[in-house]
Chains A and B, each alone.
Chain A
């Protein structure tokens, strides 16, 4: 195994003027952009959550005004889902997919940059609403007809609808890119059943995105027509039906929750084997169960609508399909535990987070099954029981999984390790804080506390658990601050990691950290699921992985053609978002944006990619 980086990490890829970041088409830099932006939005969504918790800590409190409160939970949910967690997954897709499959970049590097810039501008666009006359305030699923002009006369809902539309474009473009990358750019020998599990889960996620997002796109288009062209798709007064919105939203919304969890499951499926020094147990079953979850996930959406009154037959059908999902999910969990079984488990921080993910997700999954029974759901729907469920799966599952990934691949991003001690502090604080915050919310739901209420009176018996929950949330905040400090310090002066700090098995660990622009000096030939292990341990075909020749170190590779940087992606993204903002601010922006879009399109086509 050639260890290229023995001294200070090669910083070529990660330094340079702002300009080079703006025009970069390197998937690794775009990954960094995604990660940093998403973490920024995570803190923003977190601060919104803290304000929510501050308001709810005491009965009859007056920390934030009621209208502010509605904005806070709407933007908290929207931010966390669309601006923090999904893009954080995208950061991992970007960094890892090419590295794991032995490719030099994604299939369409400029399109990749475009996806990022649309995401960034879309995120900024939605948040501008806070200072431009009021933020979205109808909840993250914006149920009609509360979003109709009659009940929401300001532009708050327009910001939300247009913003989500913009983010949808970004997600779909990125997913198309990832699908092509995975299907086409795998190194020789990397058959489907040799792909790392993370790649599997990413591919399924990308398919979910391209098939699920159109539903919300249509929903939002119809909503915008209702608002701008006085149609009445969702307005009973004109013969429309608010329930149609719910169908369109949840046909997207339920697959969306699997879009959020599958990447984290992929991450965990990489980390558990590494730290127990055993291959993933039941590889094929884990992969196919992911596909099964995705497929069945398209047939369960009305479990969010059990209280709408769709009738007992629909409720029955969807209750059964909902519960059925427990089976493939359980299979994954059992295979993870079987991976650990008989292993040699070391408890490094990434492993702690991965184990935390498994342990906490189980709780969230089980409360999901409770919700899946319509007579039970009738009592706990729209209460804090649901809030508890969704945070156990989204925070306990996705956030823990993503942090596991950050600790695990941080060295690949930066060439340096995150500090272990502080990492463990982060983990402990977060685990305890998380459970303090959300476990009591189950009890609040049982006690009859509805969600989305800005206040409650002191005779309801909600005080104790709300206080506990608030204390917990601030503990999470402390843990995030610990992480932030750790990350900033470690990126500058952390221990040098070398190319393979964890003795891992997948391809990305065979190349230097951070990887050179071209990733692989020679495209490797793969003949197993864990090529790096095979090479190190002498099992399998040892010659399988073409390692980077020592002589290449420090040299700029003259003979490997890499895509040229381009400023068209950012111009195009800006044009798109500018045009969208024209619907709110001034028509002239539509024209300007369209012009920017057109010019960048021509520039893009005319520009040689390499």
Chain B
């Protein structure tokens, strides 16, 4: 997309907020409903499920760790943006790389958890718990994966001369918004599904 500052298509912007950021907020509003519905389905089915309700096969230690990693990555995201803003492209890239790395660690934990479950005989078609769990956590995982890819393109662009000191940073801000959101959703999932 084009890279004008807060002037887009020569328009003056009524709120002064960047169009793309506004769009992102609207999109995340929609996503909130999306995950809200999924979490509700999960909560309903947690209690209605036949057979194993799965709670006992959660590996809380592992998931707590990956949760911690994901939370930390949000911090790293903030630091990355701040660094780019301060003109330190180098540190910006380092923090950005760390976010990606932590995202990948989180995904790795998830893949491990999934395969453990399948190993224990819990697949999406085993029972409603499995179905709801894999759907919810799978969709969240997909969001993380997309986020990692997106961070990758941002990284790429930083090497292609974007995000230099003084230039606009909406590309990073956008992915940052998204990343924080995905992180927040995970907090909700972790609390409601794993802990309670």
Q: Which residues of A contact B (CB under 8 A)?
A: 103-105, 107-109, 172, 175-177, 179-180, 183-186, 188, 190, 210-215, 217-218, 221-222, 225, 229-233, 238-241, 244, 248, 251, 523, 560-563, 604-605, 608-610
Contacts and interface: CB of A to CB of B under 8 A. Distances in A.
Nearest to B11: A185
Given A214-B37, A222-B41, A248-B37, A561 B30 contact: no
Contacts of B31: 214
Contact of B14 (A185, A212, A241, A604): A185
B22 A609 contact: no
A233 B131 contact: yes
B: contact size bracket: 35 or more
B128 interface: yes
Nearest to B132: A233
Contacts of A561: 9-10
Given A176-B23, A214-B30, A225-B124, A183 B14 contact: yes
Contacts of B45: 233
A610 B1 CA distance: 9
Contacts of A231: 124-125, 128, 130-131, 135
B124 A610 contact: no
* Closest A-B pairs by Cβ, 8 of them: A231-B131, A214-B33, A609-B2, A214-B34, A210-B30, A218-B37, A239-B50, A230-B125
Contacts of B11: 103-104, 184-185, 523
Given A214-B31, A214-B33, A608-B2, A108 B19 contact: yes
B41 A523 contact: no
Contacts of B41: 218, 222, 233, 244, 248
Contacts of A239: 48-50, 127-128
B13 interface: yes
25 contacts: A108-B19, A108-B23, A109-B9, A177-B23, A179-B26, A186-B14, A210-B30, A214-B37, A215-B33, A217-B34, A218-B34, A218-B37, A231-B124, A231-B125, A231-B131, A233-B41, A233-B131, A238-B127, A239-B50, A561-B10, A562-B9, A605-B1, A608-B2, A609-B2, A610-B2
Given A231-B130, A523-B11, 20 more contacts: A103-B11, A176-B26, A176-B30, A180-B19, A184-B11, A184-B13, A184-B14, A184-B15, A184-B22, A190-B14, A214-B34, A221-B135, A222-B41, A225-B124, A231-B128, A232-B128, A248-B41, A561-B10, A604-B1, A609-B1
Interface of B: 1-2, 8-15, 17, 19, 22-23, 26-27, 29-31, 33-34, 36-38, 41, 44-45, 48-50, 124-125, 127-128, 130-132, 135, 153
B67 to A, nearest CB: 24
Nearest to B27: A176
Contacts of B1: 604-605, 609
A546 to B, nearest CB: 13
B12 A523 contact: yes
B23 A229 contact: no
Contact of A210 (B19, B22, B26, B49): B26
Nearest to A176: B26
B38 A218 contact: yes
Contacts of A190: 14
Given A213-B30, A222-B135, A605-B1, A180 B12 contact: no
B133 to A, nearest CB: 11
Contacts of A241: 48
A4 B125 CA distance: 67
B157 to A, nearest CB: 9
A235 B117 CA distance: 23
B125 A180 contact: no
B22 A225 contact: no
Nearest to B136: A218
A552 to B, nearest CB: 16
Given A214-B37, A239-B127, A105 B22 contact: no
Contacts of A217: 34
A264 B22 CA distance: 26
Contacts of A183: 14-15, 17, 22
Given A233-B128, A239-B128, A184 B29 contact: no
A198 to B, nearest CB: 18
A188 B30 CA distance: 29
Contacts of A605: 1, 153
A231 B122 CA distance: 12
B38 A229 contact: no
B128 A240 contact: yes
B83 to A, nearest CB: 24
Given A211-B30, A213-B30, A107 B19 contact: yes
A244 B17 contact: no
A229 B49 CA distance: 18
Contacts of B26: 175-176, 179-180, 210
B122 to A, nearest CB: 12
A107 B23 contact: yes
B9 A563 contact: yes
Best-surrounded residue of B12, B30, B153 (most CB of chain A within 10 A): B30
Given A188-B12, A229-B125, A523-B12, A180 B23 contact: yes
Contacts of B33: 210-212, 214-215
Contacts of A213: 30
A181 to B, nearest CB: 9
A210 B135 CA distance: 21
Given A180-B23, A241-B48, A172 B30 contact: yes
A295 B95 CA distance: 42
Give the interface centre of B17, B34, B37 by most chain A CB atoms within 10 Å: B37
A473 B22 CA distance: 45
Nearest to A240: B128
Nearest to B153: A605
Contacts of B132: 233
Given A104-B10, A231-B125, A238-B128, A180 B22 contact: yes
A598 B38 CA distance: 27
A230 B22 CA distance: 39
Contacts of A240: 128
A179 B17 CA distance: 13
B135 to A, nearest CB: 7
A560 B10 contact: yes
Contacts of B2: 608-610
